[in-house]
């Protein structure tokens, strides 16, 4: 396999991170408000903040290798399966977790291409 230029690898990494982070992030912001009003004051919605933190899993994994357990797309798949089974209760969570799973799979493909192929 020929060696890819650094510019192409850089673009593939940016595309990979974009595909891993943006779909679940945008789905979360579409379904849940970031700010809620409590007694005349605005506060950050805790559930939304938690979901946004989950959307950033690929970034956490890349920066400092904080998450040493399962791959981020595996986590999103597990979340998707859980919420799909509870879809009458949390239909929005099903869409968000599915977007996270699909985005992270596509991002992983981009990272694999940027790395230069499969491991032996």
**Contacts (Cβ under 8 Å, ≥6 apart) of 105:** 73
What confidence category does residue 66 fall into, taking pLDDT thresholds of 50, 70 and 90? very low
From CA 117, how far away is CA 119, in angstroms rounded?
7
Checking if the pLDDT of 46 tops 80, the result is no
pTM: 0.51
Residue 67 is predicted with a pLDDT of 44
Average pLDDT over residues 58-69: 59
Q: Which residue has the higher pLDDT, 120 or 40?
A: 40
What confidence category does residue 65 fall into, taking pLDDT thresholds of 50, 70 and 90? low
The domains of the chain are located at 6-31+45-115
If you write DSSP's letter for every residue of 6-66 in order, what string do you get? HHHHHHHHHHHHHHHHHHHHHHHHHHS-SEEEETTEEEE-HHHHHHHHHHTHHHHHHTTT-
Give the pairing type, strands 41-44 and 35-38.
antiparallel
């Amino acid at each position: 396999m020929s060696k890819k230029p650094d510019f192409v690898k850089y673009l593939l990494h940016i595309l990979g991170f974009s595909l891993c982070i943006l779909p679940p992030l945008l789905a979360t912001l579409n379904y849940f408000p970031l700010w809620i009003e409590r007694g005349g004051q605005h506060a950050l919605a805790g559930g939304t903040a938690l979901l946004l933190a989950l959307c950033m899993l690929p970034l956490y994994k890349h920066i400092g290798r904080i998450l040493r357990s399962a791959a981020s797309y595996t986590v999103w798949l597990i979340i998707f399966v859980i919420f799909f089974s509870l879809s009458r209760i949390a239909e929005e969570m099903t869409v968000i977790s599915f977007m996270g799973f699909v985005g992270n799979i596509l991002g992983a493909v981009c990272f694999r291409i940027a790395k230069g192929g499969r491991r032996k």
